[in-house]
Amino acid sequence: MKLQHTVKAVAVLAATLALTAAHADPVQDDQLLINGEEELATQAPAPDHLEGALGDTVYSGWLFRDTDTRAMQKDDFDNPMFLFVDAGLETWSTPEGTADKSCADCHNDIEESMKGVRAQMPKVNDKGELWALENYVNDCRTNRMGAEAWGWNSQEMKNMTAAIGLQSRGMPVAVKIDGEAAPFWEKGKEMYYTRFGQLEMSCANCHEDNFGKNIRSDHLSQGQINGFPLYRLKDQGAVSMHQRFVGCVRDTRGVPFEAGSQEFRELELYVASRGNGLAVETPAVRH
Ligand code: HEC
Ligand code: HEC
């Protein structure tokens, strides 16, 4: 029964999306050496919970991009995301809201206080809710600064999550999936394998069953999220994780959940856990 379904899904995929059999593996002869000095791990042993679903190795999306795109991420001067990082750093020390406080007034040096934060998000907060980095930022803005919440996909939010994410660059993704996080993780996993849209396709149909193959002349990766928010050359702008989820669900001609929704935070936790062990690459560059 399950096999029949899979065969059908792959047939639909091949017919509708021009999936070509041509297998193009992740590049093996390049290293993500940042500014010529700091090497980031673009492969890691697959986490146990995957039970071999991705073979024995997980790969960064960087390894599936062309030479020029890969090069842009190697040098912070060439990486267009650094304009946004700089804007985020400026906001970090700018007072705002009725409390007239800046992030720096409480958290001081971002390099110290935000080190490792990205690598553990999303996580369960002290009220037992699953929060993404964006939730923590907006909680401080609204409850501690008396400022307006930023939109999930607003430029201000992406500037800030890029500046915070950078402080974990090179550290292994290490989201917690047991204990209080387990029920959220289970739901995210269920969603990852649920077929959406007219094409009846799940995340797994593309990013697990077919990574390495070409789809509409695009090279399919494992759909990892260790580089977000990232610069997308096609959009000439910064893209958040949830924006990317929306785009992928839309490609199946399905109706996506909203950025910031409970569903997408659970999906974020599960997808992040598929990349546990990969280096945080924020801010990455993709085409
Ligand atoms: C009035 C003090 C105050 C201000 C201003 C403030 N925060 Fe916070 N922030 C806190 C406290 C307290 C916590 C919870 C305790 C902790 O984890 O440090 C927190 C937690 C966080 C966390 C979660 C850290 C973690 O490891 O879980 C992030 C991210 C964060 N703040 C970002 C920001 C940003 C970005 C700004 C500015 C837009 C900001 N904060 C402004 C006090 C503040
Ligand atoms: C029809 C095939 C298809 C489906 C289904 C699909 N994606 Fe994608 N996805 C793509 C393509 C094509 C890209 C761009 C090339 C790449 O990075 O794989 C992409 C890119 C991504 C990326 C960016 C990876 C990076 O390193 O920049 C993420 C994350 C992602 N997808 C997650 C998901 C999730 C989560 C789902 C399920 C909700 C999903 N995708 C469903 C085709 C798909």
Question: From the CA of 19, how far away is ligand 1's center (Å)?
Answer: 45
Tokens of 196: 């959406």
Question: From the CA of 283, how far away is ligand 2's center (Å)?
Answer: 18
**CATH number assigned to the domain covering 81-166:** 1.10.760.10
Q: Please report the atom of ligand 1 found closest to the CA of residue 125.
A: 27
What gap in Å lies between CA 96 and CA 107, rounded to an integer?
15
Which pLDDT does position 21 carry in this prediction?
47
Q: Which has the closest alpha carbon to 50: 211, 261, 169?
A: 211
How many helices and strands (H and E) does the chain possess?
11, 12
Tokens of 2: 């399950």
Q: Is 282 in the pocket of ligand 2 (CB under 6 A)?
A: no
| Tens-place pLDDT, residues 184-201 | 999 999 999 999 888 899
Q: Which ligand is nearest to the CA of 96?
A: 1
Q: Which of 144, 156, 166 gets mutated to test ligand 1 (max ligand atoms within 8 A of its CB)?
A: 144
Q: Which has the closest alpha carbon to 172: 270, 277, 273?
A: 277
pLDDT of residue 1 exceeding 70, the answer is: no
pLDDT of residue 11 exceeding 70, the answer is: no
Residue nearest to atom 11 of ligand 2 (CA): 220
User: Do 81-166 and 2-78+170-286 have the same topology in CATH?
Assistant: yes
Catalytic residue among 103, 106, 140, 248: 248
What gap in Å lies between CA 84 and CA 238, rounded to an integer?
8
140: Cβ contacts below 8 Å, ≥ 6 apart:
103, 106
Q: Is 42 in the pocket of ligand 2 (CB under 6 A)?
A: no
Q: Is 269 in the pocket of ligand 2 (CB under 6 A)?
A: no
Instruction: Report the chain's mean pLDDT, rounded to a whole number.
Output: 93
Q: Please report the atom of ligand 1 found closest to the CA of residue 91.
A: 38
Q: Please report the atom of ligand 2 found closest to the CA of residue 222.
A: 18
Q: Where are the domains of the chain?
A: 2-78+170-286, 81-166
Q: Which amino acid is at 87?
A: A
Three-class secondary structure of residue 195 per DSSP? coil
pLDDT of residue 160 exceeding 70, the answer is: yes
Average pLDDT over residues 135-163: 98
Q: Helix 155-166 and helix 81-92: axis angle, to 10°?
A: 90
Q: Which has the closest alpha carbon to 215: 10, 78, 38, 28?
A: 10
Q: Is 145 in the pocket of ligand 1 (CB under 6 A)?
A: yes
pLDDT of residue 252 exceeding 90, the answer is: no
Q: Is 186 in the pocket of ligand 2 (CB under 6 A)?
A: no
| Tens-place pLDDT, residues 25-43 | 789 889 999 999 999 999 9
Q: Is 137 in the pocket of ligand 1 (CB under 6 A)?
A: yes
Active site residue 103: no
**With 0-12 CB in 10 A as exposed, 13-18 as middle and 19+ as buried, what is 3?**
exposed
CB 226 within 8 A of CB 43: no
Candidate CATH numbers 1.20.210.10, 1.10.3720.10, 1.10.760.10, 3.40.50.880; the one for domain 2-78+170-286: 1.10.760.10
Tokens of 262: 């409970």
pLDDT of residue 52 exceeding 80, the answer is: yes
pTM reported for the whole predicted model:
0.94
Q: Which ligand is nearest to the CA of 163?
A: 1
Confidence of residue 251 (pLDDT cuts 50, 70, 90): confident
Q: Is 225 in the pocket of ligand 2 (CB under 6 A)?
A: yes
CB 242 within 8 A of CB 259: yes
CB 203 within 8 A of CB 256: no
Q: Which ligand is nearest to the CA of 284?
A: 2
**Residue indicated by tokens 């020390």:** 93
